[in-house]
Chain A
Amino acid sequence: MKSRFLLATTAALALAAWTTQASAASKWDGADDLPTSPLACGAGEAAAPAAAKPYDGGQPTNPPNKAGKEITIVDVPKLIGIGYFNATSKGMQDAAKELGNVKVTTDGPTEAKIDEQIKFIDNYITRGVDGILFAANDPVAIAPVLKKALSKGVHVVGYDANSTPDAREWFVNQAEFNGIGKSMMDSMAKEIGEDGSFAIVTSTFTTPNQARWIAEMQAYTEKCHPKMKWLETVEAQEDNNLSFNQATTLINKYGDKLKGLFGMTSVATPASAEAVTKAGQCGKVAVVGLATPNAMKPYLKTDCVKSVVLWNPIDLGYAATYAMRAVVDGKLKPGSTSVEAGKLGKLNVVNGSEILLGAPFIYTKENIDKFDF
């Protein structure tokens, strides 16, 4: 057993070393090896035309027919009491008010613990609701309790963080990876020009979302901004200090060559902006990244940062509520290609059973004060 263990470890290590080396040759550091699908260049449709993928969601067993009738739904986000999910919750209340026949309450754990979230959902199944909206703390761990809800005839729609597809009927996807990649690169190109050089501050090279975004950014750059030059990707965990230090190192290392910094996490972006500010490089080094508005307000106010890429969580909650209503009314069913979502208009169905919110939202100096999270 011991030798087998050693053999397995050695093999695993060798494999890891091999894959790192192989990817370093052609890929930007931090990008994954999955296939990419860059969007069309320039402004235009944010989503690629929905690829014909069959519906892969689950269906509730004998749900009561409540088409057009008043329904009670519960929203169980990853956790409650943070700005982000307060915003999604506000969107749900807005939608409920508009629809008039939906009653939605938000309830969930105070810490993002999957175990607690499961108990909350289980209790609401016992209590009896018509629908459950969720943002999963873990896509797989949440699946059994969601399947239980479906089996009791409760409608299940996810938003923000998905579960395995067969455990829910629909998932409202706030942004596809290629959409984020496009928005990031287009914003950067606008600020530093088509021949600028840039570096990336990410969490770790293996963090799934970040790796996916970086891969899509690379693919989109090769297609649409071929002259832009990638210098380096650095890891900074999701650590404030480390991100600041890494960004400062990049500024010192590349000097005038460095025109732009990407922050790939909500920690790295404000820390990079802080590093640029402290180095007196505002206006010389642009910062573009994913971040929450509150963390970025100071830097937008001083014009050190011009664009922050994210989605609009109020719209996300709003769309999820409309999707739930449409599911109950039978308007959104397997095979549908779009759904009406009030002020957001028609949202497209992608990836079989996902509803795409639309292009990522770019926060700028002008609109950022409307958001508090």
Chain B
Amino acid sequence: MSLGVETRAFRVSPWLKRHETLLALILLIALVGLGAFNDRFLTIDNLLDQGRFISEIGLIALPMTFIIITGGIDLSVGAIVGLCAIMLGYSWKNFGFPLPLAIAFALAVGALAGFVNGLVITRVKVPPLIMTIATLALYRGLAEGISQARSVRGYPEWFYFLGQGSVFGVPTQLLVLIVLIVIAGIALDRTTFGRTLYAIGANETAARFSALPVDRVKLIVYTLSGLASGLAAWVLVSRVTTTRMDMGAGYELDVIAAVVLGGASIFGGSGTIWGTVIGLVMIQLLKNGLALTGVKGDATIVVIGVALILSVLIASSLERRRD
């Protein structure tokens, strides 16, 4: 009898939330632990500084969460960052666009790149993994071809505000990220759009029979992913003051790692924005904390890998025990 009650109580708070609570707990323990080792880690300065570094990955991780919830994936995001960065610099320098127009143009290119992904995935029914591997190569190739591997520099001072400036001491891009996190969180949690994502991921056929606009929603999330990658490119160019065709290389893995660590199932149907945010923060602060504690670069990667596996293992084994 008591067992039944427990199961019931568990249903009230779904296991997903548990996963994130556990992750948050692990994060907290890791932070306190690393903070005890190093007095320069848990300082406002350092934490805000890290906020600057997670922004690009974070911006892309939001739509990636949507995509992974639908059971899809987008591996081309890093390449889109490269392409948009190049388009920003190139259109400004070579087409003579005023800089604000060049920025808008780069964002449009990002959205278009994502839209093309979504279009082929929904119309031609190419699996997202294959389509976005293909465009990963394609977009990076375009970036290289257009730029001739040359970089564009010498932006006006105001352009650096987004990537290097701060508002009330908080890095500008972190504020942008926080606003978008809130919007994405509400969209996923409180709107039909969000519920449609879960429905598609849980059972796409059922979603179609329920007359949900499956293809349209998919098209939207892939386009959003491209747009967010364009935004990340803008932030990145502003932060490092130059455009390079290899920008964003490898971002896809960092983004997906954050989303999956945050509890989204790679098979679709589950995941939350708040989990993704914890995953994101956890990876970055672990890297930073370890580096500050004196772990060298090559060893840091190993420790991070082990820490990721452990945290997922602990979280899932605790969940199973509850079940």
Query: Which residues of A does B touch, CB under 8 Å?
Result: 4-5, 8-9, 12, 80-81, 105, 107-111, 113-115, 118-120, 122-124, 126-128, 138, 140-144, 206
B308 nearest CB across to chain A (Å)? 17
Report yes or no: B95 in contact with A5, Cβ–Cβ below 8 A.
Answer: yes
**Beta-carbon nearest neighbor of B40 in chain A:** A126
Provided the pairs A110-B301, A206-B148 are in contact, do residues A141 and B292 lie with their beta carbons within 8 angstroms? no
Q: Which residues of B contact A80 (CB under 8 A)?
A: 297-298
Asked whether B298 lies within 8 Å of A110 as measured between CB atoms, the reply is yes
Residue pair A138, B240 in contact (C-beta under 8 Å): yes
- Whether A138 touches B291, Cβ cut-off 8 Å, given contacts A113-B246, A113-B250, is no
User: Could you pull out 24 A-B pairs where Cβ atoms are within 8 angstroms?
Assistant: A4-B96, A80-B298, A105-B296, A107-B296, A109-B297, A110-B297, A113-B250, A123-B288, A123-B292, A126-B40, A126-B292, A127-B38, A127-B291, A127-B292, A127-B294, A138-B151, A138-B242, A140-B151, A140-B240, A140-B242, A141-B241, A141-B244, A144-B239, A206-B150
6 nearest A-B pairs in the assembled complex, by CB-CB distance = A141-B240, A140-B242, A123-B291, A8-B95, A140-B153, A141-B242
Nearest-Cβ distance from residue B35 to partner chain A, whole angstroms: 13
Q: Is B15 located at the chain interface by the 8 A CB criterion?
A: no
A321-B254 Cα distance, complex, nearest whole Å: 35
Q: Which chain A positions have C-beta within 8 A of B240?
A: 114-115, 118, 138, 140-142, 144
- Would you give the shortest CB distance from A301 to chain B, in whole angstroms? 33
Smallest beta-carbon distance A211→chain B, Å: 12
A144 to B240 alpha-carbon distance, docked (Å): 7
B236's nearest neighbour on chain A, judged by CB, is A115
B213-245 Cβ-contact flags toward A at 8 Å (1 or 0): 000000000000000000000001001111010
Contacts of A113 in B (CB 8 A): 246, 249-250
What sequence of 0s and 1s flags, for each residue 29-72 of chain B, a beta carbon within 8 Å of any chain A beta carbon? 00000000010100001100100010000000000000000000
Q: Contact mask B88-132 → A, CB, 8 Å, 1/0?
A: 000000111000000000000000000000000000000000000
- Contact count A vs B, C-beta below 8 Å: 71
Output the residue of A110, A113, A123, A127 with the most chain B CB within 10 A: A123
In the complex, chain B residues 161-213 whose Cβ is within 8 Å of any chain A Cβ: 164
In the complex, what residues of A have CB within 8 A of residue B236's CB?
A: 115
Instruction: Collect the chain B residues with CB atoms within 8 Å of residue A115's CB.
Output: 236, 240, 247
User: For B246, what are the chain A residues with a Cβ–Cβ distance below 8 Å?
Assistant: 113
In the complex the two chains form, what is the Cα distance from A108 to B150 in whole Å?
24
- Which one of A12, A110, A128, A143 contacts B94 once the chains associate, using CB atoms below 8 Å? A12
Shortest distance from the beta carbon of B251 to any chain A beta carbon, whole Å: 9
**What chain A residues lie within 8 Å of B46 (beta carbons)?**
126
- Alpha-carbon separation in the docked complex, A124 to B236 (Å): 21
Contact A138 B239 (CB under 8 A): no
Q: Contact at B291–A108, with CB atoms within 8 Å?
A: no
Beta-carbon contact of B297 and A127 below 8 Å: no
B288: A residues at CB distance < 8 A: 123
Within the complex, the shortest CB–CB distance from B248 to chain A, in Å, comes to: 8
Set of chain B residues within 8 Å of A109, measured between Cβ atoms: 297
- Are B242 and A81 touching (Cβ within 8 A)? no
- Name the A residues within 8 Å of B292 (CB-CB): 123, 126-127
Residue of A nearest to B94 (CB): A12
Say how far B89's CB is from chain A's closest CB, in angstroms.
11
* Contact A120-B94, Cβ < 8 Å, known A126-B49, A127-B291, A140-B242: no
Closest residue of chain A to B164, judged by CB? A144
Instruction: Tell me the bound Cα distance from A143 to B294 in angstroms.
Output: 24
Interchain CB contact under 8 A, B49 and A122: yes
CA of A127 to CA of B45 in the docked complex: distance in angstroms?
12
A144 x B241 contact (CB < 8 A):
yes
Task: Report yes or no: B95 in contact with A4, Cβ–Cβ below 8 A.
Answer: yes
Of B46, B150, B297, most buried by chain A (CB within 10 Å of CB) is: B297
Q: CA A49 – CA B147 in complex, angstroms?
A: 37
Chain B residues in 8 Å Cβ range of A81? 298
Per-residue A-contact encoding for B238-269, CB less than 8 Å = 1, 0 else: 01111010110110000000000000000000
Min Cβ gap B97→A in Å is: 9
Cβ contacts under 8 Å, A122 to chain B: 49, 53
Q: List residues of chain A with CB within 8 A of the CB of B49.
A: 122, 126
Measured CB to CB, the nearest residue on chain B to A203 is B149
Q: Tell whether A128 pairs with B244 under 8 Å between CB atoms, given A12-B94, A110-B298.
A: no
Query: Nearest CB to that of B41 among chain A residues?
Result: A126
Q: A8 to B96: give the CA distance in the assembly, Å.
A: 7
**Does B244 lie within 8 Å of A120, measured CB to CB?**
no
**Cβ–Cβ contact A120 & B164, under 8 A:** no
Identify 16 new A-B residue pairs, CB closer than 8 A, beyond the known A4-B96, A123-B288, A206-B150: A8-B96, A108-B297, A110-B298, A111-B250, A114-B244, A115-B236, A118-B240, A120-B291, A123-B291, A123-B292, A138-B151, A138-B240, A140-B240, A142-B240, A143-B241, A144-B240
